[in-house]
Amino acid sequence: MPDLHDLELVIRSKVPLIIVESHEENRVSALVTRLGISRGLPIYGWSITQGLRRIDIDLDMNLGSLDLDEPDKEAPTCDPEVALRQIVNSAEAGIFLFCDLHPFLTNQPKVIRLLKDVALKHEKVPHTIIMMSHALEAPPEIRRYTAHFELSLPNDDQLYAIIREESRNWTKQHRGQRIQTDTATLKIIVNNLQGLTYADARKLIRKAIYDDGAITHKDVSAINTEKFRLMALDGVLSMQYDTAKFSDVGGLNNLKHWLEQRRTIMLNNEEHASLDKPKGILLLGVQGGGKSLAAKTVAGVWGLPLLRLDFASLYNKYVGETERSLRDALQLAEQMSPCILWMDEIEKGISSGSDDGGISKRLLGTLLTWMAEREKPVFMVATANDISKLPPELIRKGRFDEIFFVDLPDEHTRKEIFTIHLNKRHINLDNIDCNYLAAISEGYSGSEIEQVVVSALYNVASKKEDLNTDHLTLALESTRPLSVTMKENIDELRRWAADRTVPAN
C-alpha cells in the first residue's frame, strides 16, 4: 500500500493541514481510517450534511459524546466553524477528514482562522486535518502549514486485475459465458486507461464489458471519449474522433514506415528499454497536401486518442493568461497520455517576428520547456505551411524526432487518392480510368483531388448519370490548383525543404 506509507510519512512530518484533490471519497476515507487504526488515533469525518462523526468504529458516534473540552455540546457541527472550534478546544489528538470544505475557504475568514489555530497548536496537540475535494487551493493565510497529497493511479498490472475481476463478475451473471477479447486490444485499452483513478477505470471497463460481453477495438474510441469527458479537457483542447488508417491515406510511404517502426515502442517500451520513446514530428508542406490527415493517421495507426490544440483559443487580453492557458493545455494532455497532441498550423501561434507584445515569444518558451522536460508519453505532431515563420529554436535537431516534408502527390499517389475517394463514395470504378486521371492532374493536392470528385458528383446528380472519366476530366479542367495560383511560394518552400527535411513519400 504505497498510498498508506506515503500519507503516514506526511503525518509523521508533523504537517497539520493536508490537501487531497480527488473524486474518490470512499477510497480516501478507507485510507485515512486504516492509517488512524495503525497509529492508534481516532478518525473523524466531516461533511456539511452529517457534521463531525467517528468513522473508524462501527458505532455512529457524534463528536459531542466524546471527552472533548467543548463550549457547547448542542452546537450543530454541520457548521464548519463550530466543528473546527471543537477541534481547537479538544485536548485529544485525532485525524479529521473534511469533505468539500472548499466553499468555506473563500468567504468565511473565521474558518480560515480556525484552521490556522489548529496548525499553530500542532506541537501541543497534534491534530491533523485532511481536506478533501475535487479541487481545493489553500488560502495564503494557511498555505505554509499545508501539504498536498496525491493518490496513486493504477498501473498496468492493477488495470489488468480490474479487467479480470469485472470479467469474472460478468461471467458469473451470464451462466459461465466467457468475455470475447484479444491480447492486442487489451494492451491498447490498458494503455488508454492510464491517468484515470481506480473508480473511473473500473467504471469504463465495466461499461465496455457489459455493453456486449466483449472488449473489442470499437471500445477504444468509446473509452477515449469518456476519459476526455471525465478529465474535463474541453476548451483549448478538443478530442478528434475521426482518426485515419493507412488505407485512408495515399502516398506518404516514408512517414508510414517511420510510424510502423515506432509503434511498438510507443505503446510498450518494456521490450525495448534501451530505446527512447518517440517524442514528435513536424509536418511541413503544401496546403491541402495531407498534413492534417497524416496527423490523424498517427493516432489511428497507434490506437491512441488524438487531441487538437487550438492556438487561436489560447490568446487572452490579460497579461500572462495566454501562457497559462498553454501550460494548462499541455498539463491536460499529459493527463490523457499516452496520446497524440496535434498542433495544427503551429506557425500561427508562435511565429517569429510577431508584433504581439511578446506573447509569441513567451508561448514559444513555455512550449520548448515542456518539450524538453515532459516525461509522459505525449507524442507531438505539429503541422506548418510556412517554415519561414517558425523560430529556429523550434526546428533545430532534437526538438522533433524528424521533420517530414509533405509535397504535392506524384502520379502514382494521385491514382491512389482518386481510388480512395471514389471507393469512399461507393463509386463503380469500371467506368473510370484512374491512370488517365492521375496523369492529367499533375500539381493537384490531395484535398483538391477530393473536391474534383465531389464537384463531378454534383454535376452528374441532376442528370441522373453514372460518374465516368469524362465527368472527372471536366471537373479537373474547370479549376486551377494551388500549385498554379501560388507557384512562387510553393517553389520556394520546396527549395527550402530539399536538403533540410525528409520526404514523407
Query: What is the pLDDT tens value at each position of the chain, 505 positions in all?
Result: 688 989 999 999 999 999 999 889 999 999 999 998 888 999 999 999 989 999 887 434 344 434 444 444 444 889 999 999 999 999 999 999 999 999 999 889 999 999 999 999 999 999 999 999 988 889 999 999 999 998 888 888 999 999 999 999 999 998 888 989 998 889 888 888 887 889 899 999 999 999 889 998 888 888 888 887 776 655 667 777 766 666 677 778 888 889 888 888 887 656 666 678 899 999 998 887 788 888 888 888 888 888 888 776 676 544 456 777 788 788 888 878 888 999 988 887 776 555 566 778 888 888 999 998 888 889 999 998 877 788 888 888 788 999 999 888 889 999 999 999 999 898 988 889 999 999 999 999 888 999 999 999 998 887 778 899 999 999 998 888 888 888 888 888 888 888 888 888 8
Cα 41 from chain centroid (whole Å): 40
| Side chain identity, residue 307 | L
| 370 touches 249 (CB < 8 A) | no
Cell numbers placing 389:
515563420
> What is the structure's pLDDT at 75?
46
Structural domains present in the chain: 2-149 (3.40.50), 156-230 (1.10.8), 269-399 (3.40.50.300), 411-485 (1.10.8.60)
pLDDT digits (tens, 9 = 90+) for 179-205: 899 988 898 888 888 878 898 999 999
CB count, 10 Å around CB of 60? 9
For the segment 41-95, what is each residue's pLDDT rounded down to a tens digit?
999 999 999 899 998 874 343 444 344 444 444 448 899 999 999 999 999 999 9
| pLDDT tens per residue, range 444-466 | 988 899 999 999 999 888 777 88
User: At 343, is the secondary structure helix, strand, or coil?
Assistant: strand
Which pLDDT belongs to residue 127?
A: 95
Report which of 343, 239, 373, 337 is spatially closest to residue 283, judged by C-alpha positions: 343
DSSP assignment string, 304-329 = --EEEE-GGGT--SSTTHHHHHHHHH
Distances (CA, A) of 302 to 45, 225, 298: 45, 16, 6
Digit-coded pLDDT (tens) for 298-320:
888 888 888 888 776 676 544 45
| CA-based end-to-end distance of the chain | 51
pLDDT digits (tens, 9 = 90+) for 234-250: 566 777 776 666 667 77
Place of cell 466531516: 46
Distance CA 317, CA 81 (A): 39
Pairwise CA distance, residues 119 & 14, whole Å: 10
